[in-house]
Amino acid sequence: MSGLREIARPMLASIFVIQGLETFQHPEKVAARAEPVVRPLADRIPAVPSRTEEAVRLNGAVQAVAGTALGLGILPRVSALVVAGTLVPTTLAGHPFWTIDDPAERAQQRIHFLKNLTIMGGLLVAAADTGGPPSLGWRRRQAARRANGVVAGIAQAVSESAGAVSDFVSSASQTADSVAESVAQSAARAASRVPELGQAAAEQARAAGVHVAHAAQKATEEGRSRVSQLTA
């Protein structure tokens, strides 16, 4: 299909390149017929030159440039649409069959009018052809969709990270509360055992005192016994 496009596009564009150059070089040939069309357009559209020959020359230049771009496959959809736009005033100015009284001439101009209408249909089909490289508008929309997807992904990742951090903080807080409660319970148990430990220490001290007293008494008695033996 791409090979068919490479052949069809130059065929479709050829008449606009040739006739566009001819009109650009010799606008006076069609200026008289274009006057009824150019004048209303110039009154309504500031970009249209007020002089008929200049408007005709501009139309021819646009046809030649856009036709060349279409034939070479440069922005073919845009080029086809531009050429179709230039064909509207050309057809209205060149073939107004409804204004002609002579039946033969009227029929001839109607044929030319329908021929241009047919060519315009082909140009509109070419403008809607998406089989070639994507248009700039399509690429822009796709890039915007991809960018929106990336931004949405980043926002979701940030939201998930914030949720994980919140969960971690909540878990750490619960752990700290649990540790604090455990420490408090241990301190309470230790405090409750202080009297018991004090009583046990006192009993051990009394036992040690009694033992020491017994040892002292025994040592005294032994001392007296030895003194008695020495003096005897």
**pTM, rounded to two decimals:** 0.53
Q: Residue 138 domain-assigned? A: no
Assess whether 120 and 228 both reside in one domain: no
Give 197 or 231, the one with higher predicted confidence: 231
Give 97 or 166, the one with higher predicted confidence: 97
Angstrom distance (rounded) from CA 22 to CA 209: 136
* Total number of domains in the chain: 2
* Structural domain of 207: 150-232
pLDDT in tens, 143-192: 888 888 888 888 888 878 777 767 776 776 677 677 667 767 776 776 66
Q: Worst-scoring range by mean pLDDT, 31-40, 177-186, 193-202, 214-223? A: 193-202
CA 168, chain centre distance (Å): 32
Q: Residue 161 domain-assigned? A: yes
Q: Which of 133, 165, 184 is the last residue of a domain?
A: 133
Assess whether 25 and 123 both reside in one domain: yes
Q: Do residues 12 and 72 make contact, with C-beta atoms less than 8 angstroms apart?
A: no
**Does the pLDDT of residue 129 top 90, yes or no?**
no
Q: Residue 144 domain-assigned? A: no
Angstrom distance (rounded) from CA 154 to CA 175: 31
Assess whether 127 and 37 both reside in one domain: yes
